[in-house]
Chains A and B, each alone.
Chain A
Amino acid sequence: METQVVIIGGGITGVGLARDLALRGVSSLLVEAKDLCAGASGANHGLLHSGARYVRSDPAAAVECRDEGALIKTLASHCVEDTGGLFVAVEGDDESHIADFPGLCARCGIEAREISVADARSLEPVLSERLIAAFQVPDAAVDPFHLAFDNLSEALQLGANAMLHTRVTGFDCDGRHIHRVRLRNELTGEETAVAAAQVVNAAGAWAREVAALARIRLEMSYSKGSLLITDQRLARRVINRLRPASDADILVPGGTVSIVGTTSIQLDRLDRIVPTIEESEAILQAAAVMVPALATTRYIRSYAGVRPLVASSPGDGRSLSRGFALIDHSADGIDNFLSIVGGKLTTYRLMAEKAADLVCHRLGVEAPGLTRTKPLSSFAANQWTQAGLSPRRWMQAGDPEDLLLCECEMVPASAVEAVIAGIRQQGGSVGLNSIGRRSRIGKGSCQGAFCGVRLCAYLCDRGERTGRQGLEDLRSFLTARWRGMRPILWDTALLQEELQEALHCGYFGLELSDRQL
């Protein structure tokens, strides 16, 4: 196997880079250890930042978000819900912070318009009665899955390649040069290698481990963030708390739900990134000050991601901006290796562009980057993460033979077929988890308890899975869904969990080993 560029990591940065390179005519192979968006790109808040959040702490990052957010809104509008956003303060919040806010925004060129408290509450009735100030900003909501999948699909269409469930396990070096990247298929254990001219480490929080494979030390720290998903959408707009960035001060709409968070917890290891009960309590209590309904609403799930923070001191030439780091590893003794880490979902395009610029410079490719002007193509197979799409399509088509495999989110067999076709095209593996990641299956109130069984039967029927594989698949699906359920199990969610356990343990006995079959 051979390619010009190996991209390590199938998060938004990696897929964005694959597309950018493909548009310049450079061939690449993207390798992802798990599945697309398995890291932070599938565990973030989905906020397309206007930049207003960073005007005080990091004006450079604020300007970056302002520009990139505006670009994504026009170039990938099909992945964005341009909701607009509010910054609000409640009684007790720092008055001087509020007073400074419009000026700081103006300095960064971010439009922030003060509105009366009454107007804010009529725009968003869920806001607290104790509101004391409100500003409108151009925040928006973005579907990170849709955005990532379309980036990869366009890259693949232009000739790039991808291998999912494939981990980079080592580099064969030759002096100052990586000449082969060693790979292992995580599902089959099969080992292969690929020769490449350039290697890009876009492994997010795992970039330190990947760099270490080339004996390069990357100083990083990790910050875990957890979020909670409500079962109803509470607000039309993004709502931010107007105070120095802190825990649980943003509520972002995500289609038919709202997402509230985040926490920020320093981690020193990456082996267990799960949201905890303590975090869910902390989020709920803090956010309820801004939106009181958050104390009583039903939650459907929680999740957690890790932000990689690259420890780079200014002046060492490595830090491109305080938002992200592009690290040229020639300084570390390897000339065809670079790492691109940190940043935001909002700035992924810029990160990919900067990384591609360096790769192309090294390859002697002169083609300019096109992602600043070329709209992102939209692919039918990738649209099913949008809430409300499959019910709409299903009802329009009116085909009674097209069975709803997921009843909570109304996902029919035809949508599952489209998703399966997309997985094949991406080089992925067809199973409950990969289909769930690319659709709304398992995301409704049953959290997979019922649709998991229906989908499992469907896949076995289709010959995608043997009976035993189906059982394994179902176990791993329920295990993954559980991590996000555990922190919110009280009241109705607990009742739902009991039904799930009655079915999967009481009846099916999934907790017992298959030796008892």
Chain B
Amino acid sequence: MTAREPIHCDLCIVGTGMAGMSAALFAANRGLRTALVGRTGEIIFATSLIDLMGVHPVESGTVWADPWAAIAALVRDQPRHPYALLPSEAIRSAIDELLDFLEANEMPFRGHPDRNVAVLTALGTAKTTYRVPLTFWAGVEARERKRPCLLADVQGLKGFSARQIASAASTSWPGLRTTRLVLPRVAGSGEVFAERLARALELDTHRRLLAEALAPHLAGVEAVGLPAILGISRSVAVLRDVEQRLGMPLFEIPTMPPGTTGLRLKETFERGLGAKGVTLFLENRVLAASMPSSGDFVLEVGRIEPELTIRAPMVILATGRFMGGGLKADRQVVRETLFDLPVHQPAGRAHWHREEFLDPRGHPVNRAGVCIDASFRPLDAAGRPVHARLFAAGSILAHQDWMRMKCGSGLAIASAWAAVGQAVGRLGRRKPPSS
């Protein structure tokens, strides 16, 4: 192997989902020299809604208005859930710190103090979440007050029918009217892609065309809902501009992924983390890692072949689950892909999934993952930390089912915050490497 000059840092974060991105922010804010490695494949699927805790117990499908009370109940009933390791002040600080960062980078979020909100989805269901991008907020308020609104969809944008949404939501939100916008001069003809439309609407002339198309349908409505197409990097400015032209509040509804919402998060993080001095290795993976008992972790990074080496005394594993690539299953077992850490899992494939997809209890394999100690360090088979300076955060953690509990981003952010806190605490204690 040719000797490459390694890149040195205090902390290497593996994974660029919500957990990895958040961890990089927290580490940079605490003055750690931080490297972040990951493909940006998965975050673009995210809705960008920040769930904290919504449903418990999942068996009964009980939806909570107060996420903090829901977490308290969850931790009481399921003490192995990772939230049990996180005092509510820690979760609160983590979310505040992250949202401050996103706001400073032109992606502000809104919500009610200490309360969940309900967001209308692209199927007309109501999704319980905690914080929503500002561009969704007028919809949350309008729904709460049952204001008469216009929902518009766009000809050529598949999987998003205003008529369907209004019809499905009609019992809880009766005053919804619909229209279909035909915008060939903004998005071209034929199939319309949300991202393309969003980027087009960053131009003034296209916004004028959008406002003109909406204008004839505004009589008697108090707000307008659109699929999430209002810009990528400047969504709030785009929203405000169109609102001004219409003279009424405007809101977005997340489309089917991959849409614009995940892309906004990704671009915002990349911009903001770069500015904070995080060394980013995007579109890269850690291909191999060694874990000496003393001294630095050595991580080989590249797209397909190793292209560079990172040496860091501490690593946070935020590689996600099957979709992210942190876990992988063959026909018999689930493995952790980078360090081959022990994975808590049901005994055999026959027990991974229930017979019905929508079984309210959720599928047991969703609770498989890496077990951690109170310091967010992965545990070995004997229940001891695998390594004093290896931490894990996000959906790779065992004993949670974020898809059913609606705790995805909240858990990712809070566990990242706690893992970084542990890393900061340990940096001082580390012996200097003996040369």
Query: Which residue numbers of A lie inside 8 Å of B, CB to CB?
Result: 274, 277-278, 281, 284, 400-401, 403-405, 450, 453-454, 456-458, 460-461, 463, 465-468, 470-471, 474-475, 478-479, 481-483, 486, 489-491, 494-495, 497-499, 501-503, 505-514, 516-517
The residue that A470 contacts in the complex, of B123, B170, B191, with Cβ under 8 A, is: B123
B352: interface (CB < 8 Å): yes
CB-CB contacts below 8 Å: B31-71 with A: 45, 47, 49, 55, 61, 63
Residue of A nearest to B361 (CB): A511
Judge whether B323 and A490 touch: CB under 8 Å.
no
Cα distance A336–B352 in the bound complex, in angstroms: 51
Judge whether B161 and A460 touch: CB under 8 Å.
yes
Judge whether A461 and B328 touch: CB under 8 Å.
no
B124: interface (CB < 8 Å): yes
> Hey, which chain A residues are within 8 Å of B256, CB to CB?
450, 453-454, 503
Judge whether A467 and B170 touch: CB under 8 Å.
yes
Contacts A454-B159, A467-B168, A470-B123 aside, 10 further interface pairs with beta carbons under 8 A come to: A457-B159, A460-B161, A460-B164, A467-B166, A489-B353, A490-B331, A495-B322, A509-B121, A510-B125, A516-B61
Q: A460-B161, A494-B329, A512-B55 are in contact. Are A502 and B45 (CB under 8 A)?
A: yes
Q: How far is the CB of B142 from chain A (nearest CB, A)?
A: 16
CB-CB contacts below 8 Å: B322-353 with A: 322-323, 328-331, 349-350, 352-353
**CB pairs A–B below 8 angstroms (24 shown):** A284-B331, A401-B156, A401-B190, A404-B158, A453-B123, A457-B161, A457-B164, A460-B164, A461-B163, A467-B164, A471-B168, A494-B365, A495-B323, A497-B322, A499-B45, A505-B403, A506-B408, A507-B47, A508-B122, A509-B121, A510-B125, A511-B61, A513-B61, A516-B128
Cα distance A489–B166 in the bound complex, in angstroms: 35
Residue of B nearest to A461 (CB): B161
Judge whether B163 and A468 touch: CB under 8 Å.
no
Judge whether A517 and B45 touch: CB under 8 Å.
no
The residue that B123 contacts in the complex, of A471, A491, A511, with Cβ under 8 A, is: A471
The residue that B189 contacts in the complex, of A400, A467, A516, A517, with Cβ under 8 A, is: A400
Judge whether A490 and B329 touch: CB under 8 Å.
yes
B289: interface (CB < 8 Å): no
B160: interface (CB < 8 Å): yes
Query: Which residue numbers of B lie inside 8 Å of A, CB to CB?
Result: 45, 47, 49, 55, 61, 63, 121-128, 156, 158-161, 163-172, 189-191, 254, 256-257, 321-323, 328-331, 349-350, 352-353, 355-360, 362-363, 365-366, 402-404, 406, 408
Cα distance A56–B349 in the bound complex, in angstroms: 38
Judge whether B161 and A490 touch: CB under 8 Å.
no
> Hey, which chain B residues are within 8 Å of A490, CB to CB?
329-331, 349
Residue of A nearest to B171 (CB): A517
Judge whether A507 and B167 touch: CB under 8 Å.
no
Q: How far is the CB of A509 from chain B (nearest CB, A)?
A: 5
Cα distance A460–B321 in the bound complex, in angstroms: 34
Shortest Cβ-Cβ A-B pairs, 6 listed: A467-B168, A400-B190, A467-B167, A460-B164, A482-B357, A457-B161
Q: How far is the CB of B137 from chain A (nearest CB, A)?
A: 18
Q: How far is the CB of A190 from chain B (nearest CB, A)?
A: 24
Q: A401-B190, A457-B160 are in contact. Are A277 and B357 (CB under 8 A)?
A: no
The residue that B358 contacts in the complex, of A274, A454, A479, A499, with Cβ under 8 A, is: A479
> Hey, which chain B residues are within 8 Å of A470, CB to CB?
123, 164, 167-168
The residue that B403 contacts in the complex, of A460, A463, A506, with Cβ under 8 A, is: A506
Q: A277-B350, A450-B256, A453-B122 are in contact. Are A478 and B357 (CB under 8 A)?
A: yes
Judge whether B127 and A508 touch: CB under 8 Å.
yes
Judge whether A494 and B350 touch: CB under 8 Å.
no
Judge whether A489 and B164 touch: CB under 8 Å.
no
Judge whether A401 and B322 touch: CB under 8 Å.
no
Q: A468-B167, A490-B329, A498-B323 are in contact. Are A403 and B191 (CB under 8 A)?
A: yes
Judge whether B322 and A498 touch: CB under 8 Å.
yes
Q: How far is the CB of B360 from chain A (nearest CB, A)?
A: 6
Q: How far is the CB of B32 from chain A (nearest CB, A)?
A: 31
The residue that B163 contacts in the complex, of A401, A404, A460, A509, with Cβ under 8 A, is: A460
> Hey, which chain B residues are within 8 Å of A486, CB to CB?
353, 355
Judge whether B331 and A281 touch: CB under 8 Å.
yes
Cα distance A222–B308 in the bound complex, in angstroms: 61
> Hey, which chain B residues are within 8 Å of A510, CB to CB?
123, 125, 358
> Hey, which chain A residues are within 8 Å of B406, CB to CB?
506, 509
Cα distance A287–B83 in the bound complex, in angstroms: 46
> Hey, which chain A residues are within 8 Å of B402, CB to CB?
506
The residue that B323 contacts in the complex, of A479, A489, A499, with Cβ under 8 A, is: A499
> Hey, which chain A residues are within 8 Å of B366, CB to CB?
501
Q: How far is the CB of A202 from chain B (nearest CB, A)?
A: 30
Cα distance A491–B332 in the bound complex, in angstroms: 10
> Hey, which chain A residues are within 8 Å of B47, CB to CB?
507
Judge whether B257 and A508 touch: CB under 8 Å.
no
> Hey, which chain B residues are within 8 Å of A512, CB to CB?
55, 61, 63, 125
> Hey, which chain A residues are within 8 Å of B156, CB to CB?
401, 403
Cα distance A509–B55 in the bound complex, in angstroms: 10
Cα distance A474–B172 in the bound complex, in angstroms: 20
The residue that B159 contacts in the complex, of A450, A465, A506, A517, with Cβ under 8 A, is: A450
Residue of B nearest to A281 (CB): B331
Q: How far is the CB of B168 from chain A (nearest CB, A)?
A: 3
Q: A466-B167, A501-B403 are in contact. Are A277 and B158 (CB under 8 A)?
A: no
> Hey, which chain A residues are within 8 Å of B123, CB to CB?
453, 456, 467, 470-471, 474, 508, 510
Q: A490-B330, A505-B403, A512-B55 are in contact. Are A517 and B169 (CB under 8 A)?
A: yes
> Hey, which chain B residues are within 8 Å of A468, CB to CB?
167-168
Judge whether A458 and B350 touch: CB under 8 Å.
no
> Hey, which chain B residues are within 8 Å of A498, CB to CB?
321-323
Judge whether A511 and B164 touch: CB under 8 Å.
no
Q: How far is the CB of B228 from chain A (nearest CB, A)?
A: 12
Cα distance A507–B323 in the bound complex, in angstroms: 16
Q: How far is the CB of B127 from chain A (nearest CB, A)?
A: 6
Residue of B nearest to A402 (CB): B190
> Hey, which chain A residues are within 8 Å of B161, CB to CB?
457-458, 460-461
The residue that B127 contacts in the complex, of A475, A495, A507, with Cβ under 8 A, is: A507
Cα distance A507–B159 in the bound complex, in angstroms: 14
Q: How far is the CB of A393 from chain B (nearest CB, A)?
A: 16
Cα distance A278–B121 in the bound complex, in angstroms: 38
> Hey, which chain B residues are within 8 Å of A516, CB to CB?
61, 63, 125-126, 128
Cα distance A494–B330 in the bound complex, in angstroms: 9
Q: How far is the CB of B416 from chain A (nearest CB, A)?
A: 19
Residue of A nearest to B350 (CB): A277
Residue of A nearest to B331 (CB): A490
Judge whether B159 and A467 touch: CB under 8 Å.
no
Cα distance A490–B334 in the bound complex, in angstroms: 9
> Hey, which chain A residues are within 8 Å of B122, CB to CB?
453, 457, 508
> Hey, which chain A residues are within 8 Å of B360, CB to CB?
511
Judge whether A491 and B329 touch: CB under 8 Å.
yes
Q: How far is the CB of B87 from chain A (nearest CB, A)?
A: 26
Residue of B nearest to A492 (CB): B322
Q: How far is the CB of A400 from chain B (nearest CB, A)?
A: 3
> Hey, which chain B residues are within 8 Å of A400, CB to CB?
189-191
> Hey, which chain B residues are within 8 Å of A497, CB to CB?
322, 353
Judge whether A471 and B124 touch: CB under 8 Å.
yes
Q: How far is the CB of B407 from chain A (nearest CB, A)?
A: 10
Judge whether B322 and A467 touch: CB under 8 Å.
no
Judge whether A457 and B322 touch: CB under 8 Å.
no
Residue of A nearest to B61 (CB): A512
Judge whether B189 and A494 touch: CB under 8 Å.
no
Q: How far is the CB of A408 from chain B (nearest CB, A)?
A: 14
Judge whether A494 and B322 touch: CB under 8 Å.
yes
Cα distance A511–B168 in the bound complex, in angstroms: 16
> Hey, which chain A residues are within 8 Å of B166, CB to CB?
467
> Hey, which chain B residues are within 8 Å of A281, CB to CB?
331
Cα distance A461–B160 in the bound complex, in angstroms: 9
Q: How far is the CB of A453 from chain B (nearest CB, A)?
A: 5
Cα distance A400–B352 in the bound complex, in angstroms: 42
> Hey, which chain A residues are within 8 Å of B359, CB to CB?
511
Residue of A nearest to B320 (CB): A498
